[in-house]
Amino acid sequence: MSHKSSEDPKPPPKPALHFASSDLPHIAPYLPSAVVATSSVKPFVTITFATSLDSSLSLAPGTQTALSGPETKAMTHYLRSQHEAILVGVGTAVADNPALNCRIEGVGLEEQPRPVIVDPSGRWLVEEDGKLAECVRLAEHGIGKGPWVLTTLQEDEINHDSRRTLERCGGQYICFPCVPKGSQNQLQWRDIIDTLGRLGVKSAMIEGGGTVINTLLEDRNLNLIDSVIITIAPVWLGEGGVLINPPRRTDEKAQPIPVARLDQVKWKQFGDDVVLCGKIKR
Amino acid sequence: MSHKSSEDPKPPPKPALHFASSDLPHIAPYLPSAVVATSSVKPFVTITFATSLDSSLSLAPGTQTALSGPETKAMTHYLRSQHEAILVGVGTAVADNPALNCRIEGVGLEEQPRPVIVDPSGRWLVEEDGKLAECVRLAEHGIGKGPWVLTTLQEDEINHDSRRTLERCGGQYICFPCVPKGSQNQLQWRDIIDTLGRLGVKSAMIEGGGTVINTLLEDRNLNLIDSVIITIAPVWLGEGGVLINPPRRTDEKAQPIPVARLDQVKWKQFGDDVVLCGKIKR
């Protein structure tokens, strides 16, 4: 198989997905479009992911686990059509090689969300073993937008070919000020969301993986989150999975207290899964 | 305050709970009464508990965390009225000092479930600092049945006064054959369920805590479970909680596989919580 992008045949279309309009009232109040336009430049942020009953995203780090059924898959793609950007962490980008586009029927390139990959130390490869990353390949064929890669690499640290390939499909590297090496969470969520806002992104859907969600659910980041839309599948994955289990919060007496509670809560069954919509309780 | 049981005033009634009959169709197919009588002596086993979104029963071991709302609390008490026994582990019995009775209005003593405490090494105290355990106190006043304590202590290791108090309220110690000290899970679930069956118990509701649920969800015990009824509250408790996260299962190539999946799945919102009913997929 040839992997040079110029010789890469247009990928055969994956089946289009259909999200039943009868299911729309359930999620409509939690979508960016439900918000009356404000002068705020902060993008509307939806946090969304699917877990098992034991709060795992997958069976093990670096693996992809099929959790949710076709009904919630269609809903996720519908959500993508309602946001201007989809953000994932580098772990998910490397493990899943995700398409990060929207497969709802009739969605044109203009309505496709912008893939955003948070990759502080430059682990994600635009091309590996001569094969383009799936979201780059789709962008080259006009089936998705070119991905933005958020990194603390500096301009001169970025591979020239990678940059050229990314820019050719409409993507770009966005370099953040360097932070001390070895520090955790090298990119701060507030900086990421501010940057997306400055680049004109009005709504972003944050899809995972574990590090992304767990750090976003830290106390200091909760006010960045506008909506929460979670799928839970009726399965236990067991010990060793990638847990959503945010850092502990304590009160002034150092006693543990809940990290966050939702209000304006709606649960609805889709197939065998449940979808929870809510807002962070302030 | 005097704590001698003979001087102990009848406890003021806690408010009776009401479970709306309109909610009954949701859970009816998962109740023991839905099963056509069989000659099996194995009790019908329902596993039931409430977790946070991050699969925690409580904020920390040994603490009780209010998770679910009044609607699901009423449902739990209704479930208790539909089972002949309620089983909890010693950790829950010690941490929560639970009443383990049913507060649905109009439920008489005959319909009260039998409290069963799994206490392999005899940690649970019938009376502490002159104060009776709550389920014993209620039994003394005829508001609940006397608890059964399942233990590997031998007859001569049981405190004489404790035994007398327990038997006076209609409870008993049930001694299992001694197992090597230091081994985990000193009581095997199959032995526990068999014993309850031999004692005439036709249905048991297993309520927690973490060790009880996680060991019941081990592969070898799954066929003991007839129904699963779980409440999930829209809150994240964060790291350090008591997780439901059963031991990992692997396939013949030592690759992790899901521990268990449910089928015949129904999800329904009660207040802000969701209740999941299902059967273990065989």
Question: Per-residue confidence at B80, pLDDT binned at 50, 70, 90?
Answer: very high
Cβ–Cβ below 8 Å for B238 and A232 = no
Confidence of residue B99 (pLDDT cuts 50, 70, 90): very high
> Does A13 have pLDDT greater than 90?
no
Looking at residue A4, its pLDDT comes to 47
Tell me if chain A has a CB within 8 Å of the CB of B54: yes
Preceding amide of A108 cis, omega within 30: no
- State the pLDDT at residue B180: 63
Mean pLDDT taken over chain B:
91
Beta strands in B120-195 (DSSP E): 127-128, 131-132, 148-151, 172-175
Task: Give residue A2's pLDDT.
Answer: 39
- For the cut 90, the answer to whether the pLDDT of residue A169 exceeds it is yes
User: Which of B259, B275, B277, B280 to mutate to test binding with chain A, by most A CBs within 10 Å of its CB?
Assistant: B259
Confidence bin at A53 (pLDDT 50/70/90): very high
d(CA B192, CA B210): 17
Average pLDDT over residues B218-245: 97
CB within 8 Å of A268: residues ≥ 6 apart: A23, A26, A274, A275, A277, B267, B269
Q: Please indicate whether, in this complex, the C-beta atoms of A245 and B54 are within 8 angstroms of each other.
A: yes
What's the token pair of residue A281?
């309780």
Q: Tell me if chain A has a CB within 8 Å of the CB of B110.
A: no
Q: Which of B64-78, B123-137, B176-190 has the lowest mean pLDDT?
A: B176-190
A35 pLDDT more than 70: yes
Decide if pLDDT at B183 tops 70.
no
Angle at B221 between CA B240 and CA B94, to 5 degrees: 45
Contact B55 A59 (CB under 8 A): no
Q: What does the pLDDT look like over A214-250, one tens digit per residue? A: 999 999 999 999 999 999 999 999 999 999 999 999 9
Query: Residue A132 — very low, low, confident or very high, per pLDDT cuts 50/70/90?
Result: very high
pLDDT of residue B17: 86
Pairs of CB atoms within 8 A across A/B: 141
CB A276 within 8 Å of CB A47: no
> Is pLDDT above 50 for B3?
no
Return the residue of B nearest to A59 by Cα.
B256
Q: Verify whether the Cβ–Cβ distance B239 to A246 is below 8 Å.
A: yes
A274 part of contact set with chain B, CB < 8 Å: yes
> What is the pLDDT averaged over residues B119-131?
94
**How far away is chain A from the Cα of B41, in angstroms, using its nearest Cα?**
29
Per-residue CA distances from B279 to B44, B206, B226, B268 (Å): 12, 15, 6, 15
Q: Given CB atoms, is A239 within the 8 Å cutoff of chain B?
A: yes
In the prediction, which pLDDT does A17 show? 86
Average the pLDDT over B61-79 and give the result.
Answer: 92
- Mean pLDDT, rounded, for B61-69: 92
pLDDT in tens, A81-104: 999 999 999 999 999 999 999 999
Residues of B in contact with A55 (CB under 8 A): 53-55, 243, 245
pLDDT confidence band for B4 (50 / 70 / 90)? very low
Closest approach of A209 to chain B, Cα-based (Å): 15
A245, A261, A263, best to mutate vs chain B, most B CBs in 10 Å: A245
Residue A180: pLDDT band (50, 70, 90) is low
At residue A232, the pLDDT reads: 98
